[in-house]
Structure formats: structure tokens, C-alpha cells
Amino acid sequence: MSSRPAYSDDELREQWAFLDALVERQAAALRTAPPEPEEEVTLQGHSAASTALIREVESLRDRIRLLEDERRELVDRLRHADSRLAAAQRVVQQRQESPASRLWRRLRG
């Protein structure tokens, strides 16, 4: 059996405080240090890729707006054409009816 070392609560708190301070110092050093040449190239690559993606997204949004506008216009044109077609069909139907049936339809109301 292995014996586990027993640490007091105070000792554990001191160790945690030491580790927290060490991590904070390393993080501060990394934030203030100039980037490594490899990191700069990688960051520039990511920046260029991000810029390209942003442009592509903007382009796609513009295209969607244009397509939505075109769709609205086509729907309006279709409704207008449907109403004109219905009116033309009524005229054709009225011309094909006999005068007596037209009179009867008018009288019925």
C-alpha cells in the first residue's frame, strides 16, 4: 500500500495560491512578449482567411437580398397575371354563353 501524504488545509491553500500566482505571471509575460515569427505568420494567415470569409458572407447576404427582391417582384407579377387571366376567362365564358343563359344568370343575381 502506498501512503498518501497528508496536507493541512493551510498547506493546500498555500500551494494553490502559489500555482495561481505562477499562472498569472506566465499569462502576463505571454501578453507582453512580442509574438514569435511563426505565430505572426499564423495570425496573418488567420487574419487573411477571416477577411476573406467576411467578404464572402457579405457577398452572400447581398445576393440573398437581391434574390428576395426578385422573388417579391415575381410574386407580384404572378398575382397580377393570375387576376388578368381570371378576368379573361370570365369574358370568354360570357361570350360562349347563350343570350338566354346570360339573362337567366343576371336575373338570379
Residue 20 included in any domain: no
43: burial class by Cβ within 10 Å (0-12, 13-18, 19+)? exposed
Residue 98 included in any domain: yes
Contact in structure between 102 and 94 (CB atoms under 8 Å): yes
Q: Which three cell numbers stand for residue 2?
A: 502506498
Residue 72 included in any domain: yes
What pTM does this model have? 0.43
Residue 104 included in any domain: yes
pLDDT the model gives residue 41:
60
Written as one string, the DSSP assignment of 25-78 is HHHHHHHHSPPPHHHHHHHHHHHHHHHHHHHHHHHHHHHHHHHHHHHHHHHHHH
Residue 10 included in any domain: no
Q: How many domains does the chain have?
A: 1
Question: CA–CA separation, 26 vs 20, rounded Å?
Answer: 10
Residue 42: domain span: 35-108
In a structure prediction context, what are the per-residue pLDDT tens digits for the chain, which is 109 residues long? Answer: 567 767 788 888 999 999 999 999 998 888 887 766 666 666 666 777 788 888 999 999 999 999 999 999 999 999 999 999 999 998 888 778 777 777 777 788 6
pLDDT the model gives residue 37:
66
